[in-house]
Amino acid sequence: MQILTLVAPERLSQADVSAASDALRAAGATLGARRWIDAEVAVDLDIDGVAAPDARRAVEATGIRADVFVQPAATRAKRLIIADMDSTMITVECIDELADYAGIKPQIAAVTEAAMRGELDFAEALDARVALLEGLPAAAIDQCHAERVRLMSGARTLVRTMHARGSHSVLVSGGFTAFADRVGEAIGFAKVVANTLIIAGDRLAGTVAKPIVDSDTKLRTLRAEAAAHGIPIAATLAVGDGANDIPMIEAAGLGVAYHAKPKTEAAAAAAVRYGDLTTLLYAQGIARAAWVES
């Protein structure tokens, strides 16, 4: 049996649920029980007889403004979350904001966008952008963190609620430890993996320590952390927005594209288009009354 979950941050009506049910039947699904997780916000539908991607497409084609998840009932609860940082766990791309203090945000942001869409080699694009920051006072890092870095809505609640239920968590970022270490601590991640900016004296050297944390690193981290904690891959959750998140998203038990680039969304088993990060708690069947709010 599979569970299809609908999550709508505004309002999920009975008519929406009926439309989803009709679309599933038309796709060949057999429907079982229906359970509200939270009234007018999130609902579960037990389904059988249809492949998960087909069920998701059928419901999304109705135009309902809800995020859709289809998962095996047996592995719905996740024991490991591995998450990207920039534009996923925080609202900005740190390198773009740091570049603003050097007066070159437009140039760097354009490269960042292309890299996240998968149009450029990530490592080469990172080296090129960091080189443009050479000579920027290192103090700009603290200033940027204080003035620009904001946690994504629901980030703390997601990670802390999963921790309370015995899950492990890893923040794995192609960004920089100077930001990721603080973001990881603020949210509550158990482990942080990120790149290290090289600082010479009191200024950025324009280089980043090797090897670079890239898409392969993210995938290896998912597999290594799952193995180290005895967690089946089916019980893992990976979430990100950029092309460098695709390998871990494809490999995870539930891979989620979060307000993501088209290439990333196409590769993911689920996409959060409407809600915030607490949508991923509803995807696991966790009602708001059980969340660890912060």
For the chain, where do the domains classified as CATH 3.30.70.260 start and end? 1-76
For the chain, where do the domains classified as CATH 3.40.50.1000 start and end? 77-294
Task: Single out the catalytic residue among 86, 96, 241, 245.
Answer: 86
Pick the CATH number of 1-76 from 3.30.70.260, 3.40.50.300, 1.10.540.10, 3.20.20.480: 3.30.70.260
The one-digit pLDDT tens for each residue of the chain (294 residues) are: 899 999 998 999 999 999 999 999 999 999 999 999 999 999 999 999 999 999 999 999 999 999 999 999 999 999 999 999 999 999 999 999 999 999 999 999 999 999 999 999 999 999 999 999 999 999 999 999 999 999 999 999 999 999 999 999 999 999 999 999 999 999 999 999 999 999 999 999 999 999 999 999 999 999 999 999 999 999 999 999 999 999 999 999 999 999 999 999 999 999 999 999 999 999 999 999 999 997
84 catalytic per annotation? yes
Please tell me the predicted confidence (pLDDT) of residue 117.
92
38 catalytic per annotation? no
Task: Single out the catalytic residue among 16, 44, 84, 241.
Answer: 84
Distance CA 97, CA 78 (A): 33
Distance CA 105, CA 95 (A): 9
Distance CA 88, CA 86 (A): 5
Segment 15-50, tens digit of pLDDT = 999 999 999 999 999 999 999 999 999 999 999 999
- Cis, peptide link before residue 211, omega less than 30° from 0: yes
Structurally, what CATH architecture does the domain formed by 77-294 represent?
Answer: 3-Layer(aba) Sandwich (3.40)
| Residue in 118, 124, 83 with CA at minimum distance from that of residue 218 | 83
Distance CA 225, CA 187 (A): 19
Planar angle of CA 270, 116, 64, nearest 5 degrees: 30
